[in-house]
Amino acid sequence: MKVLVINAGSSSLKYQLYNMTDESVLASGRVERIGMDSSIVTHEPAGKPEARDVSEILDHVTAVKRVIDMLIHPAHGVLSSMDEIDAVGHRIVHGGEAFKHSVIVTPEVKAEIKRLFDLAPLHNPAHMMGINAVDANMPGVPQVVVFDTAFHQTMPETSYLYPIPKVLYRRHKIRRYGFHGTSHSYVSEAAARYLNKPLESLKLVTCHIGNGASCAAIMDGKTLDTSMGMTPLEGLRMGTRSGDIDPAIVPFVMNKEELTLNEVNSMLNKHSGMQAISGLSSDMREVEEAMSEGDANAKLAFDMYVYRLKKYIGAYAAAMNGIDVLLFTAGVGENSATLRKAVCDGITFLGIELDDALNAERKKTARDISTPDSRVKVLVVPTNEELLIARDTYKLAMK
């Protein structure tokens, strides 16, 4: 059984082909600059050299066609024919309240994803183009959609409602949804397996810290709370996103600086966070490097980032009335020993004791970086959202 996983953006499409017998990746790649001249396909087949193709790809239908061409190419391919692909799984950013689990794509499911365009205008329409492109190229092949929001649909009202007039929730579904759900779900299950304990018996705070960053309080195997909200702007301080700010800043800045709604939205999403404070970069590696060379703004940006994360971990420990596992994942969480140390050394009162030597090790597998005496286990678990999408697709398509 072979499953193709697709993450379609408005001008890009990433893919991974899995052999579900052993969950190995047969090939992965990406199509960039869709709709522009000189689009680029980069294809990485397992055990063969990388292939690149530059040509004009005007739409997602052609992009998927090029992916299939690569997968069955005599030299770079890994399949003898397209018919070997049994199912396709898609990452979908927003599933609203309608989708609490992954589902097989049907006309009704497509209509519902369309109704959610309002909630994720930059993402869901692009995902829909990916689904339609697969329909056009591979008619009859089952497709499954896996939502970033689905895992957090277990949040109780106390976590997901905003204290604003309730009519806004009823009319426009303004509430907290949370994102990175596929990752929080994948790493929490992996942590339970690593610790050899049922997930339901653990209180975890999972920190998905990459370019975007969110943490989740996971109790009884379900999300109790998570830091992103109606959009991925809420919560932690991020690479270019502000995270939580006083909402009154928005009208104030619009008025004083004569900014439009779009401009202020762009300011908070693309020109804030670590980039704004460091004045340097949204990339944690560059901020850490500048900090080690004595750059005061880089240090301030790093300290603010860590401070917010510590506050959320503390808040979630309080919300769950305890914490058994603190988990780091994603680009920064998996790779930055400096960030993990700064966070953990500031919250020892919770029963967290980091082993500095284990923290400094570089490994690509799940690991415990706390001391044997640490009451709270501190884990680093590499995330793998594509694998979870492949697993859900396999499960649903095989039914």
Residues making contact with ligand AMP (CB under 6 A): 210-211, 239, 283-285, 288, 330-332, 335-336
Contact between 194 and 379 under an 8 Å Cβ cutoff? The reply is yes
Shortest Å, Cβ 288 to ligand AMP: 6
Nearer to ligand AMP (CB atom), residue 143 or residue 182: 182
Shortest Å, Cβ 328 to ligand AMP: 11
Shortest Å, Cβ 26 to ligand AMP: 22
Nearer to ligand AMP (CB atom), residue 89 or residue 239: 239
d(CA 28, CA 5): 9
Nearer to ligand AMP (CB atom), residue 68 or residue 209: 209
Catalytic residue among 86, 118, 148, 244: 148
Shortest Å, Cβ 118 to ligand AMP: 25
Nearer to ligand AMP (CB atom), residue 143 or residue 278: 278
Clarify whether 22 is annotated catalytic. no
Largest Cα separation within the chain, whole Å, is 62
Nearer to ligand AMP (CB atom), residue 360 or residue 398: 360
Shortest Å, Cβ 183 to ligand AMP: 9
Q: SS3 string of the chain?
A: CEEEEEEECCCEEEEEEEECCCCEEEEEEEEECCCCCCEEEEEEECCCCCEEEEECCCCHHHHHHHHHHHHCCCCCCCCCCHHHEEEEEEEECCCCCCCCCCEECCHHHHHHHHHCHHHCCCCHHHHHHHHHHHHHHCCCCCEEEEECCHHHHHCCHHHHCCCCCHHHHHHHCCCCCCCCHHHHHHHHHHHHHHHCCCHHHCEEEEEEECCCEEEEEEECCEEEEECCCCCCCCCCCCCCCCCCCCCCHHHHHHHHHCCCHHHHHHHHHHCCHHHHHHCCCCCHHHHHHHHHCCCHHHHHHHHHHHHHHHHHHHHHHHHCCCCCEEEEEHHHHHHCHHHHHHHHHCCHHHCECECHHHHHCCCCCCEECECCCCCEEEEECCCCHHHHHHHHHHHHHHC
Shortest Å, Cβ 285 to ligand AMP: 4
Nearer to ligand AMP (CB atom), residue 116 or residue 330: 330
Nearer to ligand AMP (CB atom), residue 9 or residue 210: 210
Shortest Å, Cβ 305 to ligand AMP: 10
Active site residues: 148
